[in-house]
Amino acid sequence: MALKVIILAGGSGTRMASKQPKVLHRLGGKYLLEHVLDAVLPLKPAQIFIVYGYMGATVLKALQHRPEPITWVEQKERLGTGHAVQQVLPFLQHPQDQTLILCGDVPLISTETLAHLAHTTRTDQLGIVTANVPYPYGFGRILRDEYNQVQGIAEEKDATELQKKITEINTGIYCVPVRFLQQWLPKLSNANAQNEYYLTEIVSFACSEHIPIIVTRPKQVEEIYGINTRAELAKLERIYQRWQAHRLMFAGVTLYDPERLDVRGEVVPAQDCVLDVNVILAGTVELGEGGYIGPNCYLENVRLGKNCVIKANTVIENAVLEEGCQVGPFARIRPGTVLHQEVHIGNFVEVKNSEIGANSKANHLTYLGDASIGAQVNIGAGVITCNYDGVNKHRTTIEDEVFIGSDVQLIAPVTVGRGATIGAGTTLVRDAPPEKLTLGRSKQVTVEGWRRPVPQAKKSKQSKE
């Protein structure tokens, strides 16, 4: 028996008031559809089908970076959830297989809930996920008999006033043996208020055929919330961020305010790391033990060593910082940068595609681009590596124990030898030899007899007349 997964992602999401397909809106930095996909992957399904429809080419392009094999199935006409699953039926060849059916706009569903559903549903049963919610408006209601057995699902627009008072809802998540789908999908009817083929009708078929219906409840009811409006998207974003904050705190991370953290990717926690308010962590971020990230910082695809200090209002992207680095405030570390142990990068310093050796410092108002900088280097304020000639990028090499004075321009390609000193105000256009002082200033001149110009007196209006 193999597990197959069907994710329904063909809707337009009219109530989102967007030109984008609904499943391509983002939550926590990822597409809604990706959240669902990531939830099923740990179950190791034999095959994943994604049913696409509205702006299908856009959906396919957005997920082309995904490494896992996906079978894309087009729903040319959007005639309901049952019709969507019917499009997959020709691909389901083995009656003994199990099929998980999910919605692409329910991003918080957990692997644990899906695993329980799949593992507790036998091949002679129908499994469904239900939940009790305080405000069930818009959801299909679970109908039970006097023995509390599931008897069917009443959609909101077809439900009676009595049925609308039921708080147990259908989540749209099912585990169905393929053999039942082969029997039931061709029998679906569109005789309802929407003239659509509801997948929920398979529950009635199961009841009429005395097929046991197994109910799974999510650990947290928020897992089954779908998204139809931007307000619902914002609500789920906050729920998701709260979950991420709690996960980090339980792993030993201190958050000064859990409500003011945004995780937009994957975070690897570290004990005794402290995050101040309004920190945004995107992509893959590995925190460092004993580190500190100050307020209003943005980190994307960053690996931090132990005891790093990131001061306020700093941006770091696609970079590695080894143990004991200090960066900021108001610094920018751009892609391709590696800072070795105990490097200090100060306020209004920008580093791009550069490697800086241990214990080196650039504390003020500096740009270091496409540079290889050794250990124990001191870089003064206002230093610029002029790495771009208008067409090509060139590299600057600064060897160990160099001292570069303030307001120096290094015109790449250029090398500064070990232990060299570059005097302040120098424009370096040739290699500087090691252990020597290199200057490139023009001669200072004082002009005797010079006087600063004074404003000329303006003629009065009366004198003009």
Active-site positions read: 364
- Per the listing, tokens 């302040």 go with 424
Which among 176, 159, 181, 177 has a CA at the least distance from the CA of 168?
159
Number of H helices and number of E strands within the chain? 8, 37
- Do residues 286 and 269 make contact, with C-beta atoms less than 8 angstroms apart? no
Sequence-distant (6+) residues with CB within 8 A of 69 are 47, 48
- Per the listing, tokens 């559903």 go with 117
Structure tokens at 419: 């232990």
- Do residues 428 and 438 make contact, with C-beta atoms less than 8 angstroms apart? yes
- Do residues 371 and 386 make contact, with C-beta atoms less than 8 angstroms apart? no
Cα-Cα-Cα-Cα torsion 201, 202, 206, 207, nearest 10 degrees, comes to -10
DSSP secondary structure, 282-351, as one string: EEEEE--TT-EE-TT-EEEEEEE-TT-EE-TT-EEEEEEE-TT-EE-SS-EE-TTEEE-TT-EEEET-EE
User: What SS3 state is found at 217?
Assistant: coil
Integer distance in angstroms from the first to the last C-alpha of the chain? Answer: 106
Which among 318, 272, 312 has a CA at the least distance from the CA of 299?
318
The region, left, alpha or beta by phi > 0 then psi within -120 to 50, assigned to residue 361 is beta
DSSP secondary structure, 150-215, as one string: EEEEE-TTT--TTGGG--EEEEEEEEEEHHHHHHHGGG----STT----TTHHHHHHHHTT--EEE
Q: How many Cβ atoms sit within 10 Å of the Cβ of residue 447?
A: 6
Sequence-distant (6+) residues with CB within 8 A of 56 are 10, 72, 74
